[in-house]
Amino acid sequence: MAKYKVVINKETCIADGVCWSLCPQVFEMDEQGKSRIVESFRTEDSESRSEGIIGDDLIDCARAAADACPTASIVIEEVKE
């Protein structure tokens, strides 16, 4: 199964909630109102960025959120094993 790294740039996130509305399986709101990766997939979280690894079962949902993000704050790349 392919794996994908999802990175959220919290410095450009405007906290409009589009990503967690479209794909709550991967994205949620943090304490600052910004987006972060949900705990079960999260590998890193700070004030400036949040990262996680997801499987291909969630890639369509995560890509829809990334494509809809108005500030292009979500980047997804395949993890080479």
Distance CA 76, CA 8 (A): 9
Residue 56 C-beta: closest distance to ligand SF4, Å:
21
- Count how many Cα atoms sit within 13 Å of the Cα of residue 78 in the half-sphere of its side chain: 6
For ligand SF4, the binding residues (CB under 6 A) are 8, 13-19, 35, 69-71, 73-74
H helices within the chain, ranges in order? 18-22, 59-68
Closest separation between CB of residue 3 and ligand SF4, Å? 21
Nearer to ligand SF4, 75 or 79 (CB): 75
Indicate the residue type of 6.
V
Nearer to ligand SF4, 25 or 81 (CB): 25
Minimal distance in Å, beta carbon 80 to ligand SF4? 25
**Is the Cβ–Cβ distance between 41 and 26 less than 8 Å?**
yes
